[in-house]
Structures are given as structure tokens and as C-alpha cells.
Structure 1
Amino acid sequence: MIIISTVEFPTKIVVFLLIRSTGGIFFVSNPDTEKYLLDKIKEKDAILNGISESLMLVDARTMEILEVNNSLLEDFKMAKEEVLGKTCHQIAHHSETPCSEKDIHCPVVATCLTGEVSTAEHVHLDRDCRPVYVEVTTYPLKDDSGAVNRVIHLSRNITDRKQAEESLRESEEKYRTLFEQSVDAIHLHDEKGNMIDVNRVAILQSGYTREEMLSLTVFDLHRDYSTRDEILRMWTEWPLGQRFTIEAKHRKKDGSLFPVEITTGRVRFGNRELILASVRDITDRKEAEEALRRSHEELELRVQERTAELERKNKELREFTFVAAHDLSEPLRKIQILGSYIEEKIKDCIDDKARHYVSRMARTAERMQKLLHAILTYSHLDMAGRQPEPFNLTDSVRKAVADTEPFIQKTGTQVEIGPLPGVIGDKEQLRQLFQNLVSNAVKYHRSDVRPLVRIHSAKSDENCRIFVEDNGIGFDEKYLDKIFRPFQCLHAKTEHEGLGIGLAICQKIVECHGGTITAKSTPGEGSTFIVTLPVSPANP
């Protein structure tokens, strides 16, 4: 780099001083004409403005600026006439007070005091008071006595570099804050597993000091050497920025193992690609999972024991019901026989009132017999010992309708049977189901219209829905739960004869087949009972 200045002597000798970073060189000339001098001045200006660094020549005594180049004017966003004649502290620092002789951080002052080249980083202010970061080197110019009379001030604009350094510093500070404040241990290592950096939690988690951790590899913590080669291969093949999460066990300094969840991936740090791993101690979670597993097993055992107990009690209840019904049937048959004998043998010897009582006794005994039969049927409804089989539901429904044919004919009921699917279950129980539903529909018919019963179906996923519709008297849906309870009747016995257990039997049959039953109804318009059953895979 070359800087040129001129000094005139009274003898018309023009002295050119070329300043290099290694020192100064004098060239002496004795021009013959004015034109030669002007050419040399133009040459000097061309050299000054050809320098990329900003330059100003400063009077060492007054600190006035004697000369500048275009680069300096561009840095300060000022014209040359605004700069020349001003002091360097006015232009560079917007200050009327010169730098103190004690302020050796000012390179101009330092060169004036020491007579030596001085270098420093400084902050100048441009025309709008915005900071301009510069790297300054000052060179002394001395008079005959050796005293510094002028200072050449060279500055290089390093604002972009400083801003980049500041951004990098802020980024590193944020990274370090996040790194250290993380609740998980963080390991930064290379593709071979060598530790490069760890945070505070990693040190506390492992029991090692920071220096010890940085001398380790990942495999000193992760002792499952059977996966070492696989892990090394994955680290080299992972796409940049993609994250993976695994569970493993890490070994502490004292040799104890603890479960961890590791989320890791490749990241770029500067010009290097490294592995960043977030390691979470999941000891508490694993203990909670184990406690939950034990609780689940205990609960499952209790459920099994409770289920077995309920099955035993249900079996005992069914046996008791059977014995009770059987034992009650015997005296009931005697009452029926006795009633029939009285009614047949001595009917002419008793008055009408007595005959009425005998008749009521016979009807009550018959109702009691039907009730005992219904109880036995209800108590023995289950799939135990039965083998469910696929079959077409149409046959069972037709047989159920045939079973109620006398009642259908008596009421003039019209029965329509649409296409029905194949199901899996017990034929006889499902026949009983639809026999009860059809009988129920016929029984509760309206007197002002011809009774109509429609049976059809609709498939839904792995189940099918069978609809049994009628145009009977219907019921209020607020009693929907009540109609499926044993011995519950919505109508008086004088209006419609029944035991109140038919729909309860229907519900139990459906539940034994893994299905559901419900109903929709409007008083005075009719009811629709909806049965949901599993569909046969073959769907014959």
C-alpha cells in the first residue's frame, strides 16, 4: 500500500514522500515548468483516491485535518470542504474536546506521543451519528528535529465484520442460555461419538465433572456395544435436521444404570455437522409405568376373581330358581287338578258366586304356571354350552311367525318379511327372540286399523340391524328402559294379557349374542324394535 504527500521548499525543489507499511522513501525532483508540478499533484491525488482504506493527514499540533481521500468522505458521508480544516475529533467523534494525552487508546495521540506506528480498533460516527467500526493504523511524519509534526491516519471500515461478530456473539449467547437452561441433559458430539460439549444437567445426570465428560465418548455412557456399529452407521446416514427418539439405558460414573429417552439428530455448527442429543431421565416415568402395570395386573386379577364369583353366584341363583320353580310347580299342579275337580264334580251344587271363585282360582293357577315357565326360561338364557353357528335369519323368523300363526289369524294381522342377513348365534334362541317380538306387536294392536307387522334389515359394518315395525298402540319413549325389565307392564292386565317378561327375555337373548336391542315409538301410531346382531362372515 502506498500513500503520497508533498512538501514544498523555498528553492522550488519538490519533495515527494511515499509511505509504505514498512517505512518511508524520499524522491527529490527539480521541475522546469509549472505543468510538471501540476501533473505531479494530479498523480498524487490519483494515488490517494486509489487507496481502498480511508486516509486523512492530521496536524500533530492542532489535530486539524490537512488532507483526505474519497474513501474517508464516503465513510463519513461528508464533502471534502466540510472536513478539511476541522479537527479529527470533531469529524470522527463529533466532539469539541480533543483526546487526552492519557488516552493511549487513540492511535493519533499514541503516535504523537511515541513517534511510532500505532494500531487500534475504534468507533467513529458518520454524519448521522451512526457508528462506523474501523481498524486504524497511524504513521508519524517528523520534521528535521525528529519531532512528529503530522500523522497519517489510515482506517479500514470493519462495520460489517463487527456486526457479524456481534450477531454471532448474540447467537452463541442465546445458544449457551438455551443449552444451559434446558431441563434435559444435552450432549454435542461428532460422528464417532467424541464429546464436544455438554450442559450442566448432563454433568449432574452422569456424576462426571465437565472435564471428565469431554474426555468420554457416547459409548462410555451407552454401554450396549451390540448396537455400536448400527449407531455409528445411523449417525453418518441421518439427513441434516431430521430428529429421532429412542429409549435406552445410560451408565453413571458410579456404575448404576438409569433409563433415558434420547432425541437426537444431525445439526450444523459453523462448517461442521455434529450430533446433538437431548437426553431425558425417565426414571420417574418408568416407575410410574411399572406401578400402573402392577395395578393393572392386580385389577385384572380382581376382575377375574369377581367375575368368577359372579358366575358362581349366578349359577347358584339359576339352580335355586330352577329348584324353586320345580318345587312350586308340584303344589301348583295339585291346585289346578283340585280346581278342575271342583269345577267338574260339584259345579251343580254351588252357587254362581262360588263357581266364579273356582274359575278365578283356575285362571290364577294357569297364570302362575306360565309365570314359573317364563322364570325358568329367563334364568337359563345364556350361551354356556352352546356352539354359535352361522345361519340365515330368514328361516328362524319364518318359524317364529308360524309359531304365532293362530294369534295372527285371530287378529287378522298382516306380516311382511323382507330380506334378512346371515348371522352367528343360536337358532332356537333367536327364534324365541322374534317370536316374542311378533307376539308383542300382534298383542298390542289397534282396533281401528288392520294390524301390520314388517320385518326387514340393514347392514352396518360388521353388524346388521333388524327392524320389527308395527302400527299398534305404541308407547311413550320415556318408559323405554322400563319395558325391558322383568315383570314390568305398561298396561293393565284387564286391557292386555301378559306376564311382563317377554321383552326382558328378548333383551337377554340379544345380549347373549353380543348385540343390542332398543325401540322407537309414538303413542297411537306404532312401535319399531331395533335388534343389532353380528353378521356372519359368509353371510349365507
Structure 2
Amino acid sequence: MLNSAQTSGEGAVGEPEGNEAQHRRICVLIIDDDHLDRLVIKKALIDSGRRVEILEADRLETAEEILEQRSPDCIFLDYLMPDGSSLSFLETLQADFKNRYLGVILITGQGDEEVATTAMRLGAIDYLPKDRMTPDKIMAAVRQALADLKLKREVDAQRHVIENFAALLAHDLRDPLSATLGFLNLALESDRLEGEDRTNVTRALEGARYAVGLVNELVQYARNGSREFAIKAVSLEEVLLYARDVVLQSQAVAEGVEIELHGPFPWVEGNFEALTLLFQNLFQNSVKYRKPDEIAHVSVRFREVGDKSEIRVRDNGRGIAPEERDRIFRPLTRGSQVGEQRGYGLGLATCVRVVGLFDGDIRVESALGEGAEFIVTLPTLFKADPE
């Protein structure tokens, strides 16, 4: 097996003089069983003048050993390796949270657009056929990888600032609101509070409870955005059964709700806890916004669309106006058909965050008075129980 090699030079990879990035040495891992192909990439990197450390692996097993010890900025990955599937290797690599700032460029001797599409879907930043692998194109791919990863770091940093601010704000509000609740409850216990005064204090208590609930929802929303979920194979059927049981645990809810699961359901790529939260929110949304004096009927169906699972959650509720279908997924936003039902406008926003963690999607089809159908798309792993 090939051990890692190190080479360094001075200058920049096509960046303007004075750019701060040119002074930072980058680390590039080349995974290819062909010595000449590795040499072409190495020469392009060295001749670019960029300060670069080059690591090499002629087998995927060797690459895995290197990645246990090192965190390169960029990887050139050959599509055909002798000891395994490079696409499976890429998928496993991208699923590991510690590799979120790792740019992968797939290289292949075959100009196969289907392979390119699959590689990009699995997280590759670029795709280079070997017969067109010139020094200029190699370095252009490296520059693109570094630029994309720089942008991703900046976006993540801004997102964490916003999430931390929301969590801190919610934390600072929780204690005084809890104290307010306590004093209002004490006031209601007094025999001296009568008539309009008691009514006003009762309304104030309801408002304070709503505020506490909103603060708790904000904390949960912020936590979901910053948590690191382990991504693995998850039984969608187990997720849906558990989410349904949680919603039906309340006797008051169970008496007026029917949730039907039309399986069998596949195994998907995700996290059990996060996906349970997703479908629990959708079920609760259907229950909360059902038509007055009607049993809430929710049905869940599945169909396969390419390599994705499309899960449709349909209800017979009040429906959503066409102009509100996109807006209701925004944080702290609610539709016009909520009536007197209180809510915080964070349930569907949380659903958007969850599906985004797993390269999924969520949308809604609905008309006023005709219920709503939420369509969740997730990557399929197995059509049936792998056991």
C-alpha cells in the first residue's frame, strides 16, 4: 500500500497576489491506483506555486487510514478503485459530520454523465474525466472546492451566531416569565380578586403561558439547528409508528383523531430522533388545524421516486390558501386558517430543518377547505427490512 507523501511550494493557485488564502498551506489527498494519474495531479499542484501538502493512496483502505489521522482540504477520488466502490466511499465520507468541510473531486477514465450526476448528489464538488484532466482544469477544480468550502464555513458561522442568539434570548426570557406565571397564579388564588379584575388576570395568565411556550419552542428550534445528528439507516415504519403513538397518547386527542399508515414503508437515510420529530410535527399540525366538530383523519402513504422515498401525509383539515403554501414554512409564520387555535409558527420550520439535514425536501399541496397534503422526500436505502 502507498504511504502518504508530502510536497510543498510557494505561491498561489490562481489567486491574486496579497490574498490571505495563498499563504495558508492546503492539504490534498489523491486516491487513485494509477501511478501516472497521481503524478499528473501532483505535478499540476506543485507547478501551481501554491503551498501544498500532498497525500497519496492507491487503495480506499489506505485512504481510510489516512483520513483517520488527517483532515485534508480537498480529495481527488478515482471512480474505479480495485478494493471497493468509490461512490459508496464518497457517500460514507460525506455522512460523517467531521468531513463537512471536505471538498471531493471525482476523476474517471469514462466521461459518464450519470456517474457525474450521482457523484454530485452524493456530495462531490466537481467531476473530471481523465482525458480532459489538464493542469488548468485540475487547479480550477481545486479553486472551486476551496471557494465552496470557504462559503460553507461562513454560512455555518452566521447560522450558529443566529441560533446562539435565539437560545440566549430565550434563556434570558424564561426565568422572568416563569416568575410572572407564579405571581399571576397566586393572584388567582386570592379570594379578594373578583369580577373584571379576575377576568383580566386570567387573560394575563393565558398570555404569559403562551409566551413561555413560545420561548420553549424557540429553544428547541435553535437546538435542532445546531445539533449533530448521526446519519444512518432508519426504518421509516418504526418512525411513523412511534410518532403516531406520541400524538395519540393524549386521550383528548385520540378520541377525535384517526392516523392511518398505509405501508410497507422503506428504510431511509436519516436519524430516528430527528425524523420522529418531523412526522410528529406534521401529525400534530393536522390535529391542531382540523375542521370544527370533525374527526381529524390523517393518512400516510409512500411511493418510490428514483432513489428517493416520497412520503405523503394527507389530512381533511381546513386547508391552506395557495399564496401561503411557501410562507407557512418560514419561522414564526402561520397561515390565515388557524382560527382561534394558538401556535408558535415553528413546527413546519423545524420540519424544513430536519429534511435539510438528510438531503431531503418538503412541500405542501392544498386548497382551502379541502385539507392539506405534505410531501416529504428522503433518500431511500432499502425497499424492505434489510434483515
TM-score band, normalised by shorter chain: 0.5 to 0.7
The residue aligned with 1:225 is none
Q: Tell me how far apart the structure 1 counterparts of residues 272 and 177 of structure 2 sit (CA, whole Å).
A: 32
CA distance in 1, matches of 2:331, 2:294: 30
Residue 403 (1) aligns with residue 246 (2): yes
Structure 1 residue 338 corresponds to structure 2 residue 206: no
Q: Which runs of 5 or more residues in structure 1 are unaligned?
A: 1-288
**Secondary structure of the structure 2 residue equivalent to 1:532:** strand
Aligned equivalents of 1:303, 1:349: Cα separation in 2: 66
Kindly provide the amino acid, as one letter, of the partner of residue 414 in structure 1.
E
CA distance in 2, matches of 1:412, 1:492: 19
Q: Which residue of 2 aligns with 1:412?
A: 256
1:423–1:533: 8 Å Cα contact kept in structure 2?
yes
- Alignment of 1:306 onto 2:165: no
2:309 equivalent among 458, 461, 464: 464
1:350 has 2:350 as partner: no
CA drift of 1:293 comes to 5.6
User: In the alignment, what sits opposite 1:524?
Assistant: 369
Contact 2:282 2:313 in 1 (8 A): yes
Q: Give the distance between the partners of 1:431 and 1:492, measured in 2 at CA.
A: 26
Structure 2 contact 290–317 (Cα < 8 Å) conserved: yes
Cα displacement (A) at 1:357: 1.9
Instruction: Quote how far apart the aligned CAs of 1:309 are.
Output: 2.1
Q: What TM-score results when the alignment is normalised by the length of structure 1? A: 0.44
Q: Deviations over 1:262-283 (max 9, x none)?
A: xxxxxxxxxxxxxxxxxxxxxx
Distance 1:483 1:353, change over 3 A: same
What is the TM-score with the length of structure 2 in the denominator?
0.60
Structure 1 counterpart SS, 2:326: helix
Structure 2 counterpart of 1:335, one-letter code: T
Q: How many residues align?
A: 252
Counterpart AA for 2:354: I
Amino acid at match of 1:519: V
For the residue of structure 1 that corresponds to 2:325, the secondary structure is helix
Distance 1:411 1:533 in 2: 31
Aligned to 2:235: 392
Q: Confirm whether residue 496 of structure 1 aligns to residue 341 of structure 2.
A: yes
**Among 363, 368, 391, which residue is 2:206 paired with?**
363
Give the number of the structure whose alpha-carbon radius of gyration is greater. Answer: 1
SS at match of 2:320: coil
Is 1:416–1:454's contact at 8 Å kept on the other side of the alignment? yes
1:148-170 CA-to-partner distances (Å, cap 9, x unmatched) read xxxxxxxxxxxxxxxxxxxxxxx
Q: Which residue of the other structure, out of 278, 288, 302, is the alignment partner of 1:443?
A: 288
**2-structure distance, mates of 1:379, 1:477:** 29
Q: In the alignment, which residue of structure 2 is the partner of 1:319?
A: 164
- Shift of residue 384, structure 1, vs aligned partner: 4.9
Are the equivalent residues in 2 in contact too, given 1:382–1:512 (CA < 8 A)?
no
The 3 A distance-change label for structure 1 pair 409 and 319 is closer
Question: Measured at CA, do residues 493 and 407 of structure 1 come closer, stay the same or move farther in structure 2, by a change above 3 Å?
Answer: farther
Shift of residue 317, structure 1, vs aligned partner = 2.5
What's the secondary structure of 2:381's corresponding residue?
coil
Q: Any conservation in 1 of the 2:360–2:379 contact (CA below 8 Å)? A: yes
Distance 1:383 1:533, change over 3 A: farther
Q: Classify the secondary structure of the residue corresponding to 1:472.
A: coil
**2:320 aligned with 1:482:** no
Equivalent position amino acid for 1:471 in 2: N
Identify the range of structure 1 (302-311 vs 407-416) with the bigger mean alpha-carbon deviation: 407-416
Alignment of 1:187-336 (within 5 A): 294=139, 296-336=141-181
1:318-360 CA deviation, whole Å, 9 max, x = no partner? 222222211111111111111111111x2x2133222122112
Q: Per-residue displacement from partner, 1:81-136 (whole Å, max 9, x unpaired)? A: xxxxxxxxxxxxxxxxxxxxxxxxxxxxxxxxxxxxxxxxxxxxxxxxxxxxxxxx
**Mean alpha-carbon deviation: is it higher for 397-406 or for 509-518?**
397-406
Letter in 2 for 1:518: R
- Distance 1:382-1:535 versus aligned 2 partners, 3 A rule: farther
Secondary structure at the counterpart of residue 424 of structure 1? strand
Higher relative contact order (CA 8 A, sep 6+): 2
Alignment correspondent of 2:216: 373
Asked whether the equivalents of residues 383 and 512 of structure 1 are also in contact (C-alpha less than 8 Å), the reply is no
CA–CA separation in structure 2 for the residues paired with 1:492 and 1:477: 12
Secondary structure, aligned partner of 1:332: helix
**1:380 Cα offset (Å):** 1.9
How far apart in 2 are the matches of 1:526 and 1:487?
A: 22
Residues 169-195 of structure 1: CA deviation (Å, up to 9, x unaligned): xxxxxxxxxxxxxxxxxxxxxxxxxxx
Alpha carbon RMSD of aligned pairs, Å?
2.5
- Out of 408-417 and 512-521, give the one that drifted further: 408-417
Q: Distance in 2 between matches of 1:391 and 1:526?
A: 29
Aligned in 2, Cα 1:397/1:410: closer, same or farther, shift over 3 Å? closer
* Alignment map for 1:111-126 (pairs within 5 Å): none
2:318 counterpart residue number: 473
CA change 1:527–1:385 in 2 (3 A) is: closer
Paired residues of 2:289 and 2:338 also in contact (CA < 8 A):
no
Q: 2 CA distance for matches of 1:338 and 1:384?
A: 35
SS in 2 for 1:489: coil
Query: Which residue is equivalent to 2:357?
Result: 512
- Structure with the higher fraction of residues in helix conformation: 2
Residues 411/487 of structure 1: CA separation in 2 closer, same or farther (3 Å cut): farther
Contact 1:408 1:442 in 2 (8 A): no
Question: Which residue identity lines up with residue 228 of structure 2 in the other structure?
Answer: G
Residue 22 (structure 2) aligns with = none
Confirm or deny: 8 A CA contact 1:411 1:451 kept in the other structure. Answer: no
